[in-house]
Structure 1
Amino acid sequence: MVKKQQQEEKIVENNKGRFKKRYSLLTVVIVGLLTLLIGSGTVFFIMDQRLTAAQRTNKSMAKIEAVYSTLYNNYYRHVSRQKLENGALSGMVNALGDPFSEYMSKSETQSLNDTISSSFTGIGAEVRKNGDKIQIVSPIDGTPAAKAGLKANDVIEKINGKSMNGVSLSKAVSYIRGKKGTKVTLTIKRNSETFTKTLVRDTIPVKTVTGKLDKEHPTVGYLRVSTFSEKTAAEFKSEIKQLRKQGAKSFVIDMRDNPGGLMDQALAMSSMFLKDGKTIMQVQSRDQAPQVFKAGKKYDDGFKVNEKSVVLINGGSASAAEIFSGALKQSANIKLIGTKSYGKGTVQNTVPFNDKTELKVTIAKWLTPDGSWIHHKGLQPTVKKDFPSYAYQTAIDTTKTYQQGDVSAQVKKIQVLLNALDYGQIKANGYFDATTQGSLKKFQSDNKLQTTGKADKATIEKLEEKTATKIAASDDAYQTAVQEVK
């Protein structure tokens, strides 16, 4: 439209002086009056709309100001202006009912910036506020949270015995974080079960991409992407190059338990696998047509991955991890192996303030290349493969010791793990019988524990540790992926 208008103006300019048509003064006056009336009517309509909107805003702000003033001056005890201000800002954002939009305090803002720059100390789990609850989005691979078996959608009910119900996200994060090597105890609710885990705080890996060759099939390169931070695409490219030098002819890209991150990194990495011009994703803002993002040198600098590849996903793969996975599946016909992804189909942006706080707000929804919105739905894998069922068993409560004669759901969990580790064929019915005791004694003896036949904290932790090792070796999704690309 702009180009056409410029062409028309150029034609008029070129024809000046060529056509010298005379108009009467009356014609000029009439046309001028009509133009003025039409123009002023249009301006009046627009100004009227703006005036109405301004009046509504002023009315709302007057009410907010009245509530603020009443609370500050008349509440039965003193309340700080800062607390009221933060409450008002948070309240407006919470009214959206969007767990991904939030007003962030200084500490929350710093926490987000640390995550983006991928350099911080803590337990290694992305958390969010969901109503009055603190919920885990996804643990980061190789961190204390991941090693403890925390999973996406776990609710943190207590931290060091303190209830997190109604506590702000910044407060929860401040309780979780601390010096490296110190301990923090979390009470976790997963579905209908509640359990506790004590984690040792550690430095969260700065590197977001790790790579290696498969031991049995050294031409298969494996890349694990833990999150999408500022340098993830560069790290990914570097790992691909290194694996190629080592002999990799195909790749397995692991996006499991990747909570997402920066969209530009997902665009750059996706473009590496797509032919130029192929759609990576679409972003649709309010009342706007979708903006289409296509693969090209703009994103990948001409670096392409043409080797056969597959992507691993699960319920902890969210946001940018889903952008990447969806793009490869729909625009490059690359298979997804695993279980259904998390389902976060919105885009957030931050608005910084001078006091180092920020407003994180959902500004658009993103769509897969074919225009699908996966929000709350997730991406379905091409090939469904999962860990054994015992991998999803909730942690055992280590605050108690279990012995022969006990009957409980916790005993049943112990029996399931003993069976998984091939310590007899025990009936996993929750009754601690003589067979269970015998199997437990054998396990304790094999692992140089006190052979008491009782499941104390040390025994339970060793059971879970050994089971985690076996789970890692029983990764059907990974094994299927290797067979697919080898």
Structure 2
Amino acid sequence: MADQDKNSKVTVPKTPKKKRQIFLPVFVGIVTFLAGVALTLMVVFAFLGRSLQPQSSSFSKINSVYQTIKQNYYKPVSSTKLINGAINGMIASLDDPFSEYLPKEDATDLNTTISGSFGGIGASVKQDGNYVAVDAPVKNTPAAKAGLKTNDVIIKINGKSAKGFTTSEVVSKIRGKIGTKVKLTLKRGTKIFTVTLTRAKIPVTTVSGKLDATDKTVGYIQISTFSEPTAKELKQQVKKLRKKGATKFIIDLRGNPGGTLPTALATASMFLKDGQTIMKVQDRSGNTETYKAGKTYDNGFKVKEKTVVLVDGDSASASEIFASALKESAHDQIIGTQSYGKGTVQTVSDLGSSSEMKITTAKWLTPKGHWINKKGVTPTVKADYPSYAYLSGFDTSKTYQLGQSSRTIISIQKILKALGYSVDQTNGVYDESTQAAVAQFQTAQSNDDSGALSATGTVDPATGEALIEALSQLISDHDQAYQTAVNELNK
């Protein structure tokens, strides 16, 4: 770690009343989604009036369109619908997937997200042209276990086209009662596939930890998101693992889509000397504010043990702030693959009537002044999951059997091969070798108490779920990035 600058002054983040700075992507499921219900006519026009007074003719045009539709459209239209359309249209013109209007219910969802109370399928999403795409699946959630990846485009929900849907509309279709299922048809590159996800309640705990299975001096800590409880939970985990014998730490941010700025500052500050730079924020005029580690953020709690950080393509925003701070200020090793690359700051403003607006107001820079937007944080040591970690999932609600052929069966055959079962070819034809491999897998599952599966050679829903779970476990058991981290700590 670099020497402390004794002359440095700790900068306290300036958060205006009724505004909060966040780095939170829009979540579907665990981190529940944001977008469209209602704002009162009075509040909106008061807001628009203040904004457009210098261009009164522009405001008159908007008002004229509103009045014409209200008085002459062939059927009644609610004022709320028109106002929401106007607001969403203005925000959409920014062409910024991280700027949104948050009506009452969605503002509540955002606040629930920030407080760390989650439920659903476990993925963040973003607008992608005429569709909504996966932004980041969260580790150990239904979305991650089903094999969803960043930039998977959601083209159908429960068999119906999602073209033209906003994130709000996608939410209304995907969210539902815990334990129920939702079917998503996704496009990855040129490949189209379907998965069925069971909605689940995600534990509110954002930090988990354990000692390495073979080296009890290595403490492994996974941070799933950066929400209000995270700093407190991280401190608890560090203390707990220290008592168990940990003298060095792995911080796993893979699959972590981000969170709030205060949490990013509080957690990163724990690993830096007071006065070291965590990040910088630059406004539209080029004015830069520097945030430095200190008691203001970490309350005097420090992690001085040797630390490495794991990142991947789904590590975004607050995760990248944390990783950049430890890489450039603490000079810790960052291990994994290029991170997502979200270098902007969003501010949430209260518009009244329980509604809010989230817009991008600044960009953040690394301690050395780099803007990682659309580039990501480059790891100091590159390491990845094994190649089979990137196999596509498949629709486990269907049955696949001898004689069938489809692109989905290619995924099944590749998963079987990854698990060590012999398949003659991976051409999507459910042949006798595929049937035999499935029967062997089913027998093995029954023998090791993983669950009683009849050795039919047919991939029924129970077998499909077991295949996905077995692949997930195999990936975990052969996590090359994690092993590289352990090796780095022991150098």
Shared fold (TM-score, shorter chain, > 0.5): yes
Q: CA–CA distance in 1 between the matches of 2:302 and 2:400?
A: 56
Q: Distance in 2 between matches of 1:120 and 1:408?
A: 36
2:476 partner amino acid = A
Residue 225 of structure 1 corresponds to 223
Query: Which segment drifts farther, 278-287 or 267-276?
Result: 267-276
Partner of 1:374: 372
- Counterparts of 1:22-33 in structure 2, within 5 Å, are none
Amino acid paired to 1:478: Y
Q: Relative to 1, partners in 2 of residues 1:466 and 1:348: Cα closer, same or farther, differing over 3 Å?
A: same
Q: Please say if 1:348 is aligned against 2:352.
A: no
Matches within 5 A, 1:65-80: 65-80=63-78
Could you tell me how far apart the structure 2 residues matched to 1:340 and 1:174 are? 32
* Residue identity in the other structure for 1:112: L
The answer to whether the aligner puts 1:453 opposite 2:440 as a matched pair is no
Partner of 2:302: 304
- Aligned positions of 1:271-290 closer than 5 A: 271-290=269-288
**More relative contact order, 1 or 2 (CA 8 Å, 6+ apart):** 2
Counterpart of 1:199? 197
Matches within 5 A, 1:77-226: 77-226=75-224
- After superposition, give the CA deviation of every residue in 1:265-286 in whole Å (9 maximum; x if it has no partner): 1111111111222111110000
Shift, 1:344, TM fit: 0.4
Match of 1:59 in 2: 57
Deviation at 1:399, TM superposition (A): 6.0
> Offset at 1:141?
2.8
1:255-334 matches, cutoff 5 A: 255-334=253-332
Is the Cα–Cα contact under 8 Å of residues 193 and 394 in structure 1 kept in the other structure? no
Provide the residue aligned with 1:251 in structure 2: 249
**Are residues 1:338 and 2:342 paired?**
no
How many angstroms apart in 2 are the aligned matches of 1:211 and 1:87? 45
Structure (1 or 2) with the larger CA radius of gyration: 1
Distance 1:366 1:462 in 2: 43
Partner Cα separation in structure 1 for residue 425 and residue 198 of structure 2:
34
Q: Report the counterpart of residue 482 of structure 2 in structure 1.
A: 478
Letter in 2 for 1:123: I
CA displacement at 1:96 relative to structure 2: 0.4
Distance 1:398 1:221 in 2: 35
Aligned-partner SS, 1:273: coil
Question: Secondary structure of 2:267's partner?
Answer: helix
Question: Matches of 1:142 and 1:132 in 2, distance apart?
Answer: 29
Q: CA RMSD in A?
A: 2.0
Query: In 1, are the aligned partners of 2:121 and 2:200 still within 8 Å (CA)?
Result: yes
Tell me, in whole angstroms, the C-alpha distance in 2 between the residues paired with 1:130 and 1:359. Answer: 20
**Letter of the 2:445 counterpart:** N
1:332-383 per-position Cα deviation (integer Å, ceiling 9, x unaligned): 1111111111110000011112221111010000011111111111111111
2:449 alignment partner in structure 1: none
Aligned 8 A contact 1:121 1:178 in 2 = no
Q: CA deviation at 1:176?
A: 2.4
Which one has the bigger helix percentage? Answer: 1
Measure the CA separation in 1 of the matches of 2:239 and 2:288: 34
SS in 1 for 2:192: strand
The equivalent of 1:358 in structure 2 is 356
**Are residues 1:387 and 2:385 paired?**
yes
Aligned partners of 2:196 and 2:396 also within 8 Å: no
Name the amino acid aligned to 1:481. A
User: Aligned residue pairs: how many?
Assistant: 434
Name the aligned partner's letter for residue 218 of structure 1.
K
Task: For residue 309 of structure 2, give the secondary structure of its aligned residue in structure 1.
Answer: strand
Preserved contact between residue 193 and residue 408 of structure 2 (Cα < 8 Å): no
Shift, 1:76, TM fit: 2.3
Matched with 1:10 is: none
Shift of 1:105: 2.0
Q: How does 1:416-455 map to 2 (within 5 A)?
A: 416-424=414-422, 426-448=424-446, 449-455=453-459
Displacement after TM superposition at 1:308 (Å): 0.6
Once the two structures are TM-superposed, the CA of residue 465 in structure 1 deviates from its matched residue by 1.8
Q: Does 1:466 align with 2:470?
A: yes
Check whether the contact 2:146–2:468 (CA below 8 A) recurs between aligned residues: no
Q: Deviations over 1:105-140 (max 9, x none)?
A: 222211111110111332222233334322222223
Q: Distance in 2 between matches of 1:230 and 1:398?
A: 35
3-state SS of 2:352 partner: coil
- Aligned partners of 1:133 and 1:156 also within 8 Å: yes
Please, which moves more after superposition, 430-439 or 244-253?
430-439
CA positional deviation for 1:400 = 5.2
In structure 2, give the amino acid aligned to 1:440: V
Instruction: Provide Cα deviations, 1:259-306, integer angstroms capped at 9, x if missing partner.
Output: 101011111111111122211111000013211111122212222111
User: d(CA) in 2 for partners of 1:441 and 1:122?
Assistant: 33
**Deviation per CA, 1:45-71, whole angstroms, max 9, x where unpaired?**
xxxxxxxx9764212111111111122
Residue identity opposite 1:378 in structure 2 = G
Q: TM-score, normalised by structure 2?
A: 0.84
Matches of 2:52 and 2:265, distance apart in 1: 39
Name which of 229, 232, 235 aligns with 1:234. 232
5+ residue gaps, structure 2, are 1-50, 447-452
C-alpha contact (below 8 Å) 1:108/1:169 kept by paired residues: no
Equivalent-residue separation in structure 2 for 1:206 and 1:66 (angstroms): 48
The answer to whether the 8 A contact 1:350-1:359 is kept is: yes
Q: For each residue in 1:56-112, what CA deviation from the matched residue of structure 2 results, as whole angstroms up to 9, or x when unmatched?
A: 421211111111112222222221111110000000000000000011222221111
CA distance in 2 between partners of 1:409 and 1:136 (Å): 21
Q: Secondary structure at the match of 2:196?
A: strand
Task: Give per-residue Cα distances to partners, 1:303-334, cap 9 Å, x unaligned.
Answer: 21111110000011000000000110111111
Residues 121 and 179 in structure 1, CA contact (< 8 A), matched pair in contact too = no
Measure, in 1, the Cα distance between the counterparts of 2:427 and 2:180: 37
